[in-house]
Structure 1
Amino acid sequence: MLFRFISAILLAVAVSLIGIALEKESLKLKRQVSRQHFQLEVLINSHAKMKLATQRASSPRKVLNSMERGELEVESSSEPALTNRREMPLLQWHLQRTPQQATRQK
Protein backbone atom coordinates (compact mmCIF):
# COMPACT_ATOMS: atom_id res chain seq x y z
CA MET A 1 0.00 0.00 0.00
CA LEU A 2 2.79 2.42 0.87
CA PHE A 3 4.57 1.52 -2.39
CA ARG A 4 1.47 2.50 -4.44
CA PHE A 5 1.11 5.79 -2.58
CA ILE A 6 4.78 6.75 -3.10
CA SER A 7 4.66 5.78 -6.77
CA ALA A 8 1.49 7.89 -7.26
CA ILE A 9 3.18 10.89 -5.61
CA LEU A 10 6.32 10.39 -7.73
CA LEU A 11 4.19 10.13 -10.86
CA ALA A 12 2.36 13.38 -9.96
CA VAL A 13 5.68 15.15 -9.27
CA ALA A 14 7.15 13.88 -12.57
CA VAL A 15 4.10 15.08 -14.53
CA SER A 16 4.25 18.49 -12.86
CA LEU A 17 8.00 18.82 -13.52
CA ILE A 18 7.48 17.94 -17.19
CA GLY A 19 4.64 20.48 -17.36
CA ILE A 20 6.87 23.16 -15.81
CA ALA A 21 9.65 22.38 -18.30
CA LEU A 22 7.23 22.58 -21.24
CA GLU A 23 5.77 25.87 -19.97
CA LYS A 24 9.27 27.29 -19.53
CA GLU A 25 10.19 26.34 -23.12
CA SER A 26 6.92 27.81 -24.37
CA LEU A 27 7.61 31.14 -22.62
CA LYS A 28 11.16 31.16 -23.98
CA LEU A 29 9.86 30.73 -27.54
CA LYS A 30 7.22 33.43 -27.01
CA ARG A 31 9.94 35.84 -25.84
CA GLN A 32 12.00 35.08 -28.93
CA VAL A 33 9.01 35.67 -31.20
CA SER A 34 8.12 38.97 -29.52
CA ARG A 35 11.78 40.09 -29.72
CA GLN A 36 11.83 39.24 -33.43
CA HIS A 37 8.61 41.20 -33.99
CA PHE A 38 10.14 44.20 -32.24
CA GLN A 39 13.32 43.92 -34.34
CA LEU A 40 11.20 43.66 -37.49
CA GLU A 41 9.33 46.85 -36.56
CA VAL A 42 12.62 48.64 -35.91
CA LEU A 43 13.99 47.49 -39.27
CA ILE A 44 10.82 48.54 -41.09
CA ASN A 45 11.00 51.99 -39.48
CA SER A 46 14.68 52.41 -40.31
CA HIS A 47 14.02 51.26 -43.90
CA ALA A 48 11.25 53.83 -44.23
CA LYS A 49 13.50 56.57 -42.83
CA MET A 50 16.33 55.64 -45.21
CA LYS A 51 13.96 55.54 -48.16
CA LEU A 52 12.60 58.97 -47.25
CA ALA A 53 16.12 60.36 -46.88
CA THR A 54 17.06 58.91 -50.27
CA GLN A 55 14.02 60.43 -51.92
CA ARG A 56 14.73 63.80 -50.34
CA ALA A 57 18.39 63.68 -51.37
CA SER A 58 17.55 62.79 -54.96
CA SER A 59 14.68 65.21 -55.43
CA PRO A 60 14.95 67.30 -58.61
CA ARG A 61 15.20 70.57 -56.70
CA LYS A 62 18.05 69.28 -54.53
CA VAL A 63 19.92 67.83 -57.51
CA LEU A 64 19.55 71.04 -59.52
CA ASN A 65 20.73 73.15 -56.58
CA SER A 66 23.75 70.86 -56.13
CA MET A 67 24.56 71.12 -59.83
CA GLU A 68 24.30 74.92 -59.73
CA ARG A 69 26.62 75.14 -56.74
CA GLY A 70 29.10 72.85 -58.48
CA GLU A 71 28.87 70.04 -55.97
CA LEU A 72 27.90 67.53 -58.67
CA GLU A 73 29.91 66.88 -61.79
CA VAL A 74 27.91 66.89 -64.97
CA GLU A 75 29.29 64.86 -67.83
CA SER A 76 28.15 65.85 -71.26
CA SER A 77 29.04 63.97 -74.39
CA SER A 78 29.10 65.29 -77.92
CA GLU A 79 27.51 62.08 -79.18
CA PRO A 80 23.76 61.74 -78.95
CA ALA A 81 22.47 59.18 -76.57
CA LEU A 82 21.71 55.84 -78.11
CA THR A 83 18.13 54.87 -77.66
CA ASN A 84 17.63 51.30 -76.85
CA ARG A 85 14.18 50.84 -78.26
CA ARG A 86 12.68 47.51 -77.52
CA GLU A 87 10.57 46.43 -80.41
CA MET A 88 8.53 43.34 -80.58
CA PRO A 89 10.11 40.93 -83.08
CA LEU A 90 6.80 39.61 -84.36
CA LEU A 91 5.66 43.08 -85.38
CA GLN A 92 8.92 43.74 -87.25
CA TRP A 93 9.14 40.50 -89.21
CA HIS A 94 8.19 42.17 -92.52
CA LEU A 95 11.22 44.49 -92.29
CA GLN A 96 13.70 41.63 -92.13
CA ARG A 97 13.05 40.07 -95.53
CA THR A 98 15.82 38.48 -97.48
CA PRO A 99 16.30 39.48 -101.14
CA GLN A 100 14.82 36.16 -102.23
CA GLN A 101 11.63 36.83 -100.30
CA ALA A 102 11.37 40.30 -101.79
CA THR A 103 11.54 38.93 -105.36
CA ARG A 104 8.90 36.29 -104.58
CA GLN A 105 6.44 38.89 -103.36
CA LYS A 106 6.78 41.00 -106.52
Structure 2
Amino acid sequence: MLFRFSSAILLAVAVSLIGIALEKESLKLKRLVSRQYYQLDVLVNAHAKMKLATQRAGSPRQVLNSIERGELDVESNQQPALSNRREMPLLQWHLNPLKGQAEK
Protein backbone atom coordinates (compact mmCIF):
# COMPACT_ATOMS: atom_id res chain seq x y z
CA MET A 1 0.00 0.00 0.00
CA LEU A 2 2.80 2.41 0.86
CA PHE A 3 4.55 1.44 -2.37
CA ARG A 4 1.49 2.34 -4.46
CA PHE A 5 1.03 5.66 -2.66
CA SER A 6 4.70 6.65 -3.05
CA SER A 7 4.74 5.62 -6.72
CA ALA A 8 1.58 7.70 -7.36
CA ILE A 9 3.18 10.74 -5.66
CA LEU A 10 6.39 10.17 -7.62
CA LEU A 11 4.44 9.91 -10.89
CA ALA A 12 2.53 13.14 -10.12
CA VAL A 13 5.79 14.95 -9.33
CA ALA A 14 7.42 13.64 -12.53
CA VAL A 15 4.47 14.75 -14.66
CA SER A 16 4.47 18.21 -13.06
CA LEU A 17 8.27 18.56 -13.56
CA ILE A 18 7.89 17.58 -17.21
CA GLY A 19 5.03 20.10 -17.56
CA ILE A 20 7.16 22.82 -15.99
CA ALA A 21 10.05 22.01 -18.35
CA LEU A 22 7.74 22.12 -21.38
CA GLU A 23 6.19 25.41 -20.24
CA LYS A 24 9.65 26.88 -19.71
CA GLU A 25 10.72 25.83 -23.22
CA SER A 26 7.48 27.25 -24.65
CA LEU A 27 8.09 30.61 -22.96
CA LYS A 28 11.68 30.64 -24.22
CA LEU A 29 10.48 30.07 -27.81
CA LYS A 30 7.80 32.76 -27.44
CA ARG A 31 10.48 35.21 -26.27
CA LEU A 32 12.60 34.36 -29.31
CA VAL A 33 9.66 34.86 -31.66
CA SER A 34 8.74 38.12 -29.99
CA ARG A 35 12.34 39.34 -30.30
CA GLN A 36 12.38 38.39 -33.98
CA TYR A 37 9.16 40.34 -34.58
CA TYR A 38 10.72 43.34 -32.86
CA GLN A 39 13.86 43.02 -35.01
CA LEU A 40 11.67 42.70 -38.10
CA ASP A 41 9.85 45.92 -37.17
CA VAL A 42 13.18 47.68 -36.65
CA LEU A 43 14.47 46.45 -40.01
CA VAL A 44 11.27 47.43 -41.84
CA ASN A 45 11.50 50.89 -40.28
CA ALA A 46 15.16 51.21 -41.26
CA HIS A 47 14.35 50.02 -44.79
CA ALA A 48 11.60 52.63 -45.10
CA LYS A 49 13.95 55.38 -43.89
CA MET A 50 16.67 54.30 -46.33
CA LYS A 51 14.20 54.09 -49.21
CA LEU A 52 12.95 57.59 -48.40
CA ALA A 53 16.53 58.86 -48.22
CA THR A 54 17.40 57.34 -51.61
CA GLN A 55 14.25 58.78 -53.17
CA ARG A 56 15.12 62.21 -51.78
CA ALA A 57 18.75 61.91 -52.90
CA GLY A 58 17.70 60.81 -56.38
CA SER A 59 15.05 63.46 -56.90
CA PRO A 60 15.66 65.68 -59.92
CA ARG A 61 15.95 68.82 -57.79
CA GLN A 62 18.59 67.24 -55.54
CA VAL A 63 20.55 65.86 -58.50
CA LEU A 64 20.56 69.22 -60.26
CA ASN A 65 21.64 70.99 -57.07
CA SER A 66 24.47 68.47 -56.63
CA ILE A 67 25.60 68.98 -60.22
CA GLU A 68 25.53 72.77 -59.78
CA ARG A 69 27.59 72.53 -56.58
CA GLY A 70 30.10 70.28 -58.35
CA GLU A 71 29.50 67.26 -56.12
CA LEU A 72 28.58 65.03 -59.07
CA ASP A 73 30.65 64.46 -62.18
CA VAL A 74 28.71 64.58 -65.42
CA GLU A 75 29.96 62.27 -68.13
CA SER A 76 28.80 63.02 -71.61
CA ASN A 77 28.49 60.45 -74.34
CA GLN A 78 30.82 61.33 -77.22
CA GLN A 79 28.59 59.64 -79.79
CA PRO A 80 25.26 61.30 -80.56
CA ALA A 81 22.11 59.26 -80.15
CA LEU A 82 20.88 57.67 -83.35
CA SER A 83 17.18 58.37 -82.99
CA ASN A 84 16.46 59.34 -86.61
CA ARG A 85 17.13 55.89 -88.02
CA ARG A 86 14.29 54.29 -89.95
CA GLU A 87 15.41 50.73 -89.30
CA MET A 88 13.33 48.28 -87.38
CA PRO A 89 14.26 48.44 -83.67
CA LEU A 90 14.37 44.66 -83.28
CA LEU A 91 16.98 44.32 -86.03
CA GLN A 92 19.36 46.86 -84.53
CA TRP A 93 20.70 44.41 -81.95
CA HIS A 94 21.65 42.13 -84.80
CA LEU A 95 23.25 44.83 -86.96
CA ASN A 96 25.26 46.66 -84.28
CA PRO A 97 27.78 43.81 -83.63
CA LEU A 98 28.42 43.55 -87.37
CA LYS A 99 29.24 47.26 -87.60
CA GLY A 100 31.64 46.93 -84.67
CA GLN A 101 33.45 44.02 -86.35
CA ALA A 102 33.65 45.86 -89.66
CA GLU A 103 35.33 48.86 -88.01
CA LYS A 104 38.01 46.70 -86.39
TM bracket (short chain): 0.7 to 0.9
Letter paired with 1:37: Y
In 2: Cα distance, 1:5 partner to 1:81 partner: 97
Cα distance, 1:11 vs structure 2: 0.3
Percent sequence identity is 78
The SS at the match of 1:87 is helix
Between Structure 1 and Structure 2, how many residues are aligned? 87
Q: Which runs of 4+ in 1 moved over 3 A?
A: 85-88
Letter paired with 2:64: L
- Residue in 2 aligned with 1:70? 70
Root-mean-square deviation over aligned CA pairs: 2.0
Q: Specify every segment of 5 or more residues in structure 2 that has no aligned partner in the other structure, as ranges.
A: 92-104
Cα distance, 1:79 vs structure 2: 0.3
Cα distance, 1:36 vs structure 2: 0.2
Matched, 1:45 2:45: yes
Change (3 A) 1:30 1:72: same
The SS at the match of 1:79 is coil
TM-score normalised by the chain length of structure 2: 0.77
Letter paired with 1:3: F
Greater helix share, structure number: 2
Letter paired with 1:15: V
In 2: Cα distance, 1:6 partner to 1:77 partner: 92
Structure showing greater radius of gyration is: 1
In 1: Cα distance, 2:17 partner to 2:71 partner: 70
Cα distance, 1:86 vs structure 2: 6.3
Alignment of 1:1-106 (within 5 A): 1-81=1-81, 87=90
Cα distance, 1:46 vs structure 2: 0.2
In 1: Cα distance, 2:80 partner to 2:46 partner: 41
Letter paired with 2:20: I
